[in-house]
Structure 1
Amino acid sequence: MKKYKSPVYNVIAVPVEKIVANNYNPNIVAPPEMKLLELSIWEDGYTMPCVCYYLQDCDRYEIVDGFHRYMVMKTSNRIYEREQGLLPVVVIEKDISNRMTSTIRHNRARGMHNVELMSNIVAELTRSGMSDNWIMRNIGMDKDELLRLKQISGLAELFANRDFGMSDEWIEDN
């Protein structure tokens, strides 16, 4: 049996020009916190790598976690120059649904999410065939939050083929 090795033990330096943002991250950072992040990176350096997925067909790295650290590198000349345009990255191998949920888990452990973008992710995961139970378990939300996000999206398709009420699928794993 192969012994598991966490991605953090394989940090690589990637030119920031080879990194692209994903189109599903619902995390928002206010301008004062972005200034603080820039100061933190200036004073302390990059202390956490960005998490990326390697897009082999175009030789790019798509961000799973670390978008705002990436943006600091792209917008702060002094940090870009000091770091020689290289961003510390770890690469994970996951399909798109699992990359989306990984982004959410990373973000939810730290702070707030944009509700509209979260409801878009729930809609996309539902369209991808993920069950309510899978979404709740992998994103770390309860049935009430999932129901609210589905209602916010306003898409009837999210409720298609569902009986309303407390079905077994709405039972949370412990």
Structure 2
Amino acid sequence: MSDKQFKSPVYNVIAVPIEKVVPNTYNPNSVAPPEMKLLYDSIKEDGYTMPIVCYYVKSQDTYVIVDGFHRYRVMKEYPDIYERENGMLPVSVIDKSLANRMASTIRHNRARGSHDVDLMSNIIKELHEIGRSDAWISKHLGMDKDEILRLKQITGLAALFRDVKFGQAWQPSSAGRRNWEDDDGWEDDMEG
């Protein structure tokens, strides 16, 4: 698809009954109660100014949240908002693979919020389990190799290190001094 044919999903916002919208299983973003109250106040005063980004699962006729879980929560938890909006959420639909939806969620969250470290490490684990390399994760989630390493260490699973090449850390030079190699185990696999 060329850039001229691409149309941003925000231009096709649809009203969806909240009963058809479901949270994803991997969102690591958390909002403290004061910020949740502020979000409620914002939606109460200004309405929904941003759609909930979802992936449509045709076989189940449901919309899985990619971004906007806390805006969704406001309608679920505050009857006045539910009634005012007639139980309808503004939804923008994207059609992406699970790995790319996870990456989208992380990109949206990292631009504005904090993450639960355990949930974030589980996302790294899940992405590795579906075959994504550290290089793919770095490119698509905007993480550096040290952050990925720390998150892998939290899960404690050796399988997460399967795409890392380990080599000798140094080699003696002809002058008898040590020359450190830059063998960080990263492959240039940026596809995905």
TM-score w.r.t. structure 2 length? 0.86
Give the conservation status (yes or no) of the 8 Å contact 2:66–2:105.
yes
What code does the residue aligned with 1:75 have? E
Runs of 4+ residues deviating >6 angstroms = none
1:33 equivalenced with 2:35 (yes/no): yes
Distance 1:162 1:39 in 2: 47
What code does the residue aligned with 1:139 have? L
What code does the residue aligned with 2:139 have? R
Give the conservation status (yes or no) of the 8 Å contact 2:22–2:62.
yes
Give the conservation status (yes or no) of the 8 Å contact 2:134–2:186.
no
Q: Specify which of 101, 115, 120 is matched with residue 122 of structure 2.
A: 120
Please, what is the CA RMSD of the aligned residues?
1.6
Q: Give 1:101 shift.
A: 0.6
Residue of structure 2 equivalent to 1:166: 184
SS at 2:60 equivalent: coil
Residue of structure 1 equivalent to 2:65: 63
Deviations for 1:20-45, whole angstroms, at most 9, x for unmatched residues? 00000000000111011000000010
Aligned residues: 172
Distance 2:163 2:67 in 1: 33
Distance 2:67 2:118 in 1: 19
TM-score w.r.t. structure 1 length? 0.94
Distance 2:101 2:189 in 1: 24
SS at 1:62 equivalent: strand
Q: Give 1:168 shift.
A: 3.8
Which protein is bigger by CA-based radius of gyration?
A: 2
Gapped regions of structure 2 (runs ≥ 5): 167-182
Deviations for 1:55-94, whole angstroms, at most 9, x for unmatched residues? 1111000000000000000011111010000000000000
Q: Specify which of 136, 140, 143 is matched with residue 141 of structure 1.
A: 143
Q: Give 1:111 shift.
A: 1.4
What code does the residue aligned with 2:71 have? R
| Percent identity of paired positions between Structure 1 and Structure 2 | 66
Distance 1:64 1:149 in 2: 21
Residue of structure 1 equivalent to 2:176: none
Residue of structure 2 equivalent to 1:111: 113
